[in-house]
Amino acid sequence: MLRGIDPVLNAELMHALMLMGHGDQLVLCDVNHPAQTIARHTTYGHLIDVSGCGLERVAEAILTLFPLDTFIDAPVKRMQVVGDASGQMPIFATIQKVIDRAEDRPVRMEALERFAFYEAAKKSFAIVRTSDPGPYGCFIFSKGVI
């Protein structure tokens, strides 16, 4: 155990976060996301599991170390509800509060259609799967600079 580092951040996740640079993207997802399949296409090449934690808790832990990109309009992307582009799920507001609090400012979150989200996820640096049951708990964070 290390001081000052949230224990939710396991060694593999810490390693991936340290490897990432400005503009790299991290996918944070629930258990429904085809994470294992898509993770093979990422820079990291395999899935990072954070078992026993939901999306809110893992996002809070990651954002203690991970700055969001301030050079783009929407440093966070989410999957939109299939068949209802303006549909809202409770997890959207929950993660919005987490990112706004972590950045101490309002942060724009952009919705992507399901298959567009999958394609964007394939281009990410890594995928982190939580134990969150979802649905629609799929987010992409763009890394900024400190």
CATH classification at residue 106:
3.40.1650.10
Catalytic residue among 44, 69, 132, 136: 69
pLDDT tens by residue, 78-130: 999 999 999 999 999 999 999 999 999 999 999 999 999 999 999 999 999 99
pLDDT tens by residue, 51-70: 999 999 999 999 999 999 99
Give the chain's mean pLDDT. Answer: 97
Structure tokens at 124: 């990410």
How many domains are contained in the chain? 1
> What's residue 104's pLDDT?
98
Work out the pLDDT band at 1, boundaries 50, 70, 90: low
Question: For the whole model, what pTM was predicted?
Answer: 0.97
Active site residue 69: yes
Domain enclosing residue 123, as ranges: 11-142
> What's residue 2's pLDDT?
80
Catalytic residue among 33, 44, 118, 136: 118
Residue 126 lies in a domain: yes
Residue 6 lies in a domain: no
> What's residue 34's pLDDT?
97
Question: Which region, left, alpha or beta, applies to residue 78 given φ > 0 means left and ψ of -120 to 50 means alpha?
Answer: beta
For residue 8, how many other CB atoms are within 10 A of its CB? 17
Active site residue 22: yes
Active site residue 118: yes
Residue 20 lies in a domain: yes
Residue 48 lies in a domain: yes
